[in-house]
């Protein structure tokens, strides 16, 4: 059996963190017969430099044919002056849209070892395990009309459109309800229904799906401003949250900091199963971090945890997923840290050293004959 993984390292630290994830994939092939076949393609600024477009046709073709995609990050100051259509971010948005990856899962889990690395008090974040489900192919990101025009009097007018249709809301709601069913049975839908009609419709559709199909799930609704506040006030009140593309973008960065660092948060972007195209892309929530790119100091854990999500969601390799996750926890338990999660008295590792440390844990678990299910 072969399992085709496409690597899209992208820009900045994306290439560094993907290199570490690749080591883990090789380890699994060598030690667990996982049969992964790796291919690589360009996306974002790197693709623009090589081909004049952030999303080359060759990348799309490879993406469609793969079983799962692992992406690093895109963007950087080098490409900031370009027209919107050529910016690295368009590559990322393009691949999400082309593959119809409408459901973005962003779990924020606080590892016990890192409860003190958060800027929030330990008791607020210790044991935190929440899941943000972000709609990923609609909203202001894709709505039309869009653009900036200059009016006859010289005034500039910028427009973006917040648009959702009821089927778009229903399909993301079902994904979130299904996940809530497998977890704590609670779902909070986040909107701005007091001001924005499109999100009032969102609220009504989510409620309807809840009433008709998931009466056992405890459904609540919250305005996005309140949700941002509640996330830092008392994040443990949440189990699963479901929200729009823009609100999800913002709230997930906020949730990431609860876990100590943006460098710890993985994500999965999933589409429908029967499209005939690859329906799963995994990426860290963090960006390309141009300020630290090329210095080998980035935290590869968010990317390796994204790989863990891939093992679970795309390949049902539950034992292997548990092994890699346990190896990460063991490294943290040994007080090894990258700069972003560094604490007094601990040992600071670079990006590749962190990848190696995780590999070493995998090796010793294997040598110790640790039983996996």
Q: Which helix (H) or strand (E) holds 85?
A: none
Q: How far is the CB of 349 from ligand IPM (least distance, A)?
A: 26
DSSP string covering 205-268, please? Answer: HHHHHHHHH-TTSEEEEEEHHHHHHHHHH-GGG-SEEEE-HHHHHHHHHHHHHHTT-GGG-EEE
Q: How far is the CB of 43 from ligand IPM (least distance, A)?
A: 11
Q: How far is the CB of 248 from ligand IPM (least distance, A)?
A: 8
239 binds Mg ion (CB under 5 A): no
Pick 302 or 331: Cβ nearer ligand IPM = 302
Which pairs from 359-368 meet CB under 8 Å and 24+ separation? Answer: 359/23, 359/24, 359/27, 359/327, 361/326, 361/327, 361/328, 361/330, 361/331, 362/24, 362/27, 362/31, 362/323, 362/324, 362/327, 365/323, 365/326, 365/327, 365/330, 366/31
Binding mask 56-75 for ligand IPM (x = CB under 6 A): -------------------x
Q: Say which residues have a Cβ less than 8 Å from residue 276's Cβ, sequence separation at least 6.
A: none
Q: How far is the CB of 75 from ligand IPM (least distance, A)?
A: 6
87 secondary structure, DSSP code: S
Strand pairing partners for 105?
A: 133, 268
Q: How far is the CB of 89 from ligand IPM (least distance, A)?
A: 4
- Per DSSP, the three-state class of 118 is coil
89 binds ligand IPM (CB under 6 A): yes
| Whole-number Å distance between alpha carbons of 346 and 315 | 35
Residue choice 63, 71, 92, 188 for contact with ligand IPM (CB under 6 A): 92
The side-by-side arrangement of strands in the sheet containing 36-40 is: 36-40, 3-10, 68-73, 280-284, 266-270, 103-109, 129-135, 240-243, 186-191, 218-223
| Whole-number Å distance between alpha carbons of 286 and 92 | 13
The one of Mg ion, ligand IPM, none whose footprint includes residue 92, by CB under 5 to 8 A per kind, is ligand IPM
249 binds ligand IPM (CB under 6 A): yes
The one of Mg ion, ligand IPM, none whose footprint includes residue 89, by CB under 5 to 8 A per kind, is ligand IPM
The one of ligand IPM, Mg ion, none whose footprint includes residue 94, by CB under 5 to 8 A per kind, is none
Q: Which helix (H) or strand (E) holds 135?
A: strand 129-135
Q: What CA dihedral angle connects 209, 214, 215 and 220, to 10 degrees?
A: -70
| Whole-number Å distance between alpha carbons of 97 and 26 | 30
Pick 254 or 346: Cβ nearer ligand IPM = 254
Pick 219 or 293: Cβ nearer Mg ion = 293
Q: How far is CA 180 from the centre of its chain?
A: 18
Q: How far is the CB of 74 from Mg ion (least distance, A)?
A: 11
The one of ligand IPM, Mg ion, none whose footprint includes residue 213, by CB under 5 to 8 A per kind, is none
Q: Which of residues 322-361 bind ligand IPM (CB under 6 A)?
A: none
Phi then psi for residue 279, to 5 deg, are -120, 25
249 binds Mg ion (CB under 5 A): yes
Contact window for Mg ion (CB under 5 A) among 82-90, 242-250, 266-274, 324-332: 242-250
Contact window for Mg ion (CB under 5 A) among 160-168, 223-231, 246-254, 265-273: 246-254
361 binds Mg ion (CB under 5 A): no
Binding mask 279-308 for ligand IPM (x = CB under 6 A): ------x-x---------------------
231, 245 Cβ separation under 8 angstroms: no
Pick 75 or 210: Cβ nearer ligand IPM = 75
320 binds Mg ion (CB under 5 A): no
Pick 11 or 249: Cβ nearer Mg ion = 249
Closest-by-Cβ residue to Mg ion is 249
The one of ligand IPM, Mg ion, none whose footprint includes residue 54, by CB under 5 to 8 A per kind, is none
Residues involved in catalysis = 141, 192, 225, 249, 253
The two tokens of residue 204 are 């009504």
Residues lying near ligand IPM in the complex (CB under 6 A) are found at 75, 89, 92, 249, 285, 287
**Footprint of Mg ion (CB under 5 A):** 249
């Amino acid at each position: 059996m072969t399992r085709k993984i496409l690597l899209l390292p992208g820009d900045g630290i994306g290439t560094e963190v993907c290199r570490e994830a690749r080591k883990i994939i090789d380890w699994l092939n060598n030690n667990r017969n996982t049969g992964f076949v790796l291919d690589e393609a360009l996306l974002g600024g790197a693709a623009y430099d090589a081909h004049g477009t952030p999303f080359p046709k060759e990348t799309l073709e490879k993406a469609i044919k793969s079983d799962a995609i692992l992406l690093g990050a895109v963007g950087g100051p080098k490409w900031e002056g370009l027209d919107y259509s050529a910016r690295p971010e368009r590559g990322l948005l393009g691949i999400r849209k082309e593959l119809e990856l409408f459901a973005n899962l962003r779990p924020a889990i606080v590892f016990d070892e890192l409860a003190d690395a958060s800027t929030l008090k330990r008791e607020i974040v210790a044991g935190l395990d929440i899941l943000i489900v972000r709609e990923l192919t609609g909203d202001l990101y894709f709505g039309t009309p869009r653009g900036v025009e200059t009016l006859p009097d010289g005034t500039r007018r910028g427009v973006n459109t917040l648009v959702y249709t009821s089927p778009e809301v229903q399909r993301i709601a079902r994904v979130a309800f299904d996940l809530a069913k497998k977890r704590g049975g609670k779902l909070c839908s986040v909107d701005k229904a007091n001001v924005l009609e499109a999100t009032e419709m969102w609220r009504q559709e989510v409620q309807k799906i809840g009433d008709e199909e998931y009466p056992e799930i405890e459904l609540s609704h919250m305005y996005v401003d309140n949700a941002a506040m509640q996330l830092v006030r008392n994040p443990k009140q949440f189990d699963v949250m479901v929200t729009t593309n823009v609100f999800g973008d913002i709230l997930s960065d906020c949730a990431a900091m609860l876990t100590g660092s943006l460098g710890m948060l993985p994500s999965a972007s999933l589409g429908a199963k029967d499209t005939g195209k690859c329906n799963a892309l995994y990426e860290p929530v963090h960006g390309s971090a141009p300020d630290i790119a090329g210095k080998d100091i980035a935290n590869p854990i968010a990317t390796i945890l994204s790989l863990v999500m891939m093992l679970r969601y795309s390949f049902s390799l539950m034992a292997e997923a548990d092994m890699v996750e346990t190896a990460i926890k063991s490294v943290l338990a040994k007080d090894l840290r990258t700069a972003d999660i560094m604490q007094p008295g601990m040992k600071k590792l670079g990006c590749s050293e962190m990848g190696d440390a995780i590999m070493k844990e995998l090796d010793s678990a294997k040598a110790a004959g640790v039983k996996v299910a």
